[in-house]
Structure formats: structure tokens, C-alpha cells
Amino acid sequence: MKPFKPFRICLSDGKSFDINNHDIAFVKSSTVEIGAELDAEGFAEHCAECAILHITRLEDIPAARAA
């Protein structure tokens, strides 16, 4: 198994979400649930629900920048 590689989800409305940990994004049938505004312990303050149809691209995030 390869280690997790951080990436960014870009949406059609211009918003983007950095996925720095494999535990903060959950793919459902037509949406992706993303834990946002992580606290010091890594818990999400709230979740963003993003329609898969509105994802325009995925971008790699360099590991040094993701930390």
C-alpha cells in the first residue's frame, strides 16, 4: 500500500479544500463530505458537503506545504 498523498479538491464555484489526511474526506454516492477547520487535535469543526458533479479538478499538494 502506498502512503497517502495530500491533494486539493477544486469546485466549480471557485472554492477549494485541502485534503491533508485520508480521514477527512468521505466519498458518498453523489457527494464528498469534507471535514473542515480542523482543531489542534485534528477533529473537524464542521463538514462541507460537495456535489461530485461540481468538482472541476484535483491538484497535488507538495508534502512540505501540506504539513
What confidence tens digit (pLDDT) does each residue in 1-25 have?
478 899 999 999 999 999 988 888 9
pLDDT at site 60? 95
Q: What is the pTM of this model?
A: 0.78
Look up cell 468538482; give the residue. Answer: 55
Distances (CA, A) of 64 to 3, 6, 10, 46, 50: 15, 10, 20, 25, 26
- Asked if 46 and 36 touch (Cβ cutoff 8 Å), the reply is yes
Residue spans per domain, the chain? 7-66
